[in-house]
Structure 1
């Protein structure tokens, strides 16, 4: 049994530790099921080669948005091609491979088989690049939700990236490993703490915990973006005089949250802080004309933030960007 999309997106449902990894992963593609075809997009930023790896899609039900307003949503949806399905808005789950010289860095690891058949393709996309899991030197984790950390571990409980150092925020690590916090949440939510712990456990001897805004590895700076989770972190890549911000889950819905940045979702640990961080990041992105990408921005997830009246809009980069 796996945790499927409906179980996860219905709220923090019960998830016994025994069900968190189902044993259906494929070892030679970093724990990814093979039902979905590999989807990826590559471009260059300075001397770095960046590959966006699509893990799949999941529906974000409207009931998960705080203060959801159907009329406002209809106005926002009418400006683009996003369509509301009976299950909600389909959003992507993106991960990233960054190659600089001999270094191969992964930013987030997808879901593996934790969240159903429409996800779990990141390992296959990575394999399509010709890069083996054993060649990954560093995994930069934005946060420890299952759509980001699930692919870190294979079905047998071993590390999917056996030679990689895992980098994660100290605040994030402490939150998910705090027994008192886990005991304080509803019983049905504790499985997610077990899942977070289980996916990072194989990296205990190759773990680096980071604090605040700081250089992580050459060319990468960690940027605290708290709210969605306490230690939610983005990573700025500086390469050849160019910058690209990997901002994790600053937004979940391209269609709605640029237009209504105060709309948060049920999985934001601190809704008010999430909205505050989002607006600050939007303002910085506009002021600095930042090129950015995010885990749930429409694939391939590259673009800029524009000011749009009192709100914001997303400008996607052309598909040929960087070629």
Structure 2
């Protein structure tokens, strides 16, 4: 007797075929959607004892580091870049750090503002996205007066942080804010002086600039430590709360793929490269020995982690991404 297929079998097969076609069309439609090409807001938050620390992303700028790094060779730099899967143009982060101590809201460095083009200048938007407003900031501490650290002080010709006092090393103020130094600077250097003066002078004129007093608590738990060399008045900042420590390096280093492996490597942006190298080696050794957190303006965002010694160099260990607690 011939087997008769039940009619519902054909119905089920038909429905399955239709469903499969619909599913394929659905996937095809989704795959054809336009690419969004935007990133999440650039802030990362962590606790340091009782301090809330928020890393703020100003953006990235591509640096041709083979030509910029000194006390090395382009061949050596190229090998180290390749080992870290980097090309000749290295995307370099510009990071700043917002510290809420519970009684004070402090910003350390301000990003580039409008001084370096469209890939930088995102600090203000990321500050707002992080839940804070510029007018809430009590103090701004500047590691040094290069444009990618002070450019964010001014927005559309106005004070970006109208209620804040700006602090920086007296040596940097004497050097970068000098009209005489601007006038005698080489064409390549004039832009550095112009950026610093455009960013700081409005605060000076408003009575909102106060040079740092080295070694004293700027606010409870935050100290400036001289690390001159990159600029005449370059400073790092030490944050301590409940036995936890974070040192913000500013521009003690620029290219992680090279300068952790070879700490002696300097950069053409240094005012005094020999002194900058000494300060870098000292900072690396102390951080590795102390096992405390460090933050750096030009490490990949959020630029927070620890280092350990390895051979004649060091290895960077970034923080784990985690919830604030």
TM-score band w.r.t. shorter chain: 0.7 to 0.9
Residue 274 (structure 2) pairs with residue 275 (structure 1) = no
Measured in 2, the distance between the counterparts of 1:236 and 1:269 equals 23
Deviates more, 1:93-102 or 1:42-51: 93-102
Instruction: Give the structure 1 partner of residue 29 of structure 2.
Output: none
Measured in 2, the distance between the counterparts of 1:83 and 1:177 equals 36
Instruction: Give the structure 2 partner of residue 230 of structure 1.
Output: 232
Q: Shift of the alpha carbon at 1:188?
A: 4.2
| Higher relative contact order (Cα pairs below 8 Å, separated by 6+ residues) | 1
Instruction: Give the structure 2 partner of residue 73 of structure 1.
Output: 77
SS at match of 1:50: strand
Segments of structure 1 that go 5 or more residues without pairing to the other structure are: 1-34
Instruction: Give the structure 2 partner of residue 196 of structure 1.
Output: 196
Distance 1:77 1:138, change over 3 A: same
Instruction: Give the structure 2 partner of residue 159 of structure 1.
Output: 159
SS at match of 1:97: strand
Instruction: Give the structure 2 partner of residue 13 of structure 1.
Output: none
| TM-score, with structure 2 as normaliser | 0.83
Distance 1:122 1:73, change over 3 A: same
Q: Shift of the alpha carbon at 1:202?
A: 2.2
CA contact (8 A) 2:104 2:219 kept: no
| TM-score, with structure 1 as normaliser | 0.83
Measured in 1, the distance between the counterparts of 2:103 and 2:290 equals 30
Measured in 2, the distance between the counterparts of 1:49 and 1:212 equals 23
Instruction: Give the structure 1 partner of residue 178 of structure 2.
Output: 178
1:1-323 paired onto structure 2 within 5 Å:
38-61=41-64, 62-80=66-84, 82-85=85-88, 88-155=89-156, 157-204=157-204, 205-320=207-322, 323=325
CA contact (8 A) 1:38 1:122 kept: no
Deviates more, 1:310-319 or 1:243-252: 310-319
SS at match of 1:143: coil
Measured in 2, the distance between the counterparts of 1:112 and 1:161 equals 13
| Deviation by residue 1:34-55 (Cα, 9 ceiling, x = unmatched) | x976311111111111111110
CA contact (8 A) 2:222 2:238 kept: yes
CA contact (8 A) 1:222 1:233 kept: yes
Q: Which has the larger radius of gyration?
A: 2
CA contact (8 A) 1:141 1:168 kept: yes
Segments of structure 2 that go 5 or more residues without pairing to the other structure are: 1-37
Q: Shift of the alpha carbon at 1:135?
A: 0.5
Q: Shift of the alpha carbon at 1:158?
A: 1.7
Deviates more, 1:57-66 or 1:202-211: 202-211
CA contact (8 A) 1:213 1:221 kept: yes
CA contact (8 A) 1:140 1:166 kept: yes
Q: Shift of the alpha carbon at 1:280?
A: 0.9
Q: Shift of the alpha carbon at 1:68?
A: 4.1
SS at match of 2:210: strand
User: How much is the aligned-residue C-alpha RMSD, in angstroms?
Assistant: 1.8
Distance 1:191 1:301, change over 3 A: closer
| Deviation by residue 1:200-234 (Cα, 9 ceiling, x = unmatched) | 12222122111433321111010111111010011
Q: Shift of the alpha carbon at 1:71?
A: 3.9
Aligned residue-pair number: 285
